[in-house]
Structure 1
Amino acid sequence: MLPLIAVAGRIGARGKVSRLEVSFAGRRYLDAVIRAGGEPVTIAPRELSDEFAAQILGRFDGLLLMGGSDVDPAMYDQEPHPRTYGVDRRNDEFEATLCRAAARIGLPTLAICRGMQVANVAFGGSLHQHLADLEVPSQVAHGPHGFPSPLEGVEHSIEIAPGSLLAKALNGCDVPPAISYHHQAVDRLGSGFTATAWATDGHVEAMERSDGWFVCLQWHPEDTAHSDPAQQRIYDAFVEQTGAERD
């Protein structure tokens, strides 16, 4: 039986796809899971208790959190920056609750971009709300000029901690470039997380937990995973881990 991967769905506004609000998951994420041998199942966003979230996730072999718009700054005790965009507290609370439940039950988890930021906030961490406004602006492009209007990310190099879950996932592959599409980044790490990859400007590009296979990436491996074996290898390792946990 294929490992079942819970993909935290996202609430989207009505429009071209439907006259009603939609719950959706990005195709590139689903395709990367399928190539890795998993079966992705989108979980509809809703209000969840910690206990019910654990019950839902108990039916699955892994959890995937996608990229997307900004997390509500109120969740880490800040006021919104003028460039904060797309906030929907329903999505934030739903994904944060799933993160905590997954960690509690030891469910393998892969969190991408916004997913990493949600996970960090879910465990008491904070975010830099707009990298361009830092006292020492980064010389690394973490998103396209005019973000978020252009839809494709930009490449930059990263350094990965040897011996980390991420390094093991790459399994000897050369360190791939980060495909980045974000204007925020992790500031204070959430409880239980350790940084395991960095951009050349020092910003955290990956973090993980020591109490299970819980890996968070600030970049988007799924963007080029169809043609870059190193990026696909991250999804492969995630799905392999879900199968190992089930066995």
Structure 2
Amino acid sequence: MPLLPLTNPGDSPGPVFKLGVGTLLPTARLLTRFDHHGAENLPAPGGALIVANHISNFDPVVLGSFLVMNGRWPHWLAKKEIFDVPVIGWVARHADQIPVNRKAPGPEILAHARRALARGMTLVMYPEGTITGDPLHWPMVGHTGAARLALETGAPVIPVGQWGPHEVMGFKTMTFPRVFPRRTMHLHCGPAVDLTEFRGGIHDQQSVRRATEKIMEAIDAQTELARGESAPDTRYDIRTGQRVAKASLS
């Protein structure tokens, strides 16, 4: 495998991270086709928040490959409990992934993430919080963590839409990897989401929710390009199992 670029020094991958990438990236390129677009929208060096739709257990490999091939080594937010699991926790810690303590009070839930952005790292978040449960497989109602991080830190928010990873490992229900025939992984990366209208509104719940929906709309736009079709004007809320009008969220 050719030497991979590192355009963002803040990511500073260690040997465990490099070993993982050196194994997964060539395998993904061999077994799938990459149809990636929008690398020019990745920002200059410094902290950045990559927000994406989540459709399959395989899409982190696709998104990670795109970022690494373009010089940014991603750091995912994962629940703190994973870091206590033997082997997996060791790998997560030594690959500089970011723990989220969901039991911590208020702002402390994302304390590690804020410090990582301050160090100039590339963070990846799925604002839906889980693989989409939407029967139509579009991005669901988002959680507010990404918007809060962006408003607190000023880090650029880069939206990504993906389509195709579900053909390898299914949607919400995981399947054994299907690699024949060779599938195409469609990924579109868009320009940074403009959240300037919400600056100073971090303590205003309505502003945070509106900023969250603006982020989800940007992910929708990239997912439309990846899927080649238009998103519905409603969004699935996994908490209620109902669809809600996007206009009511924004």
Q: TM-score, normalised by structure 2?
A: 0.28
More helix by share: 2
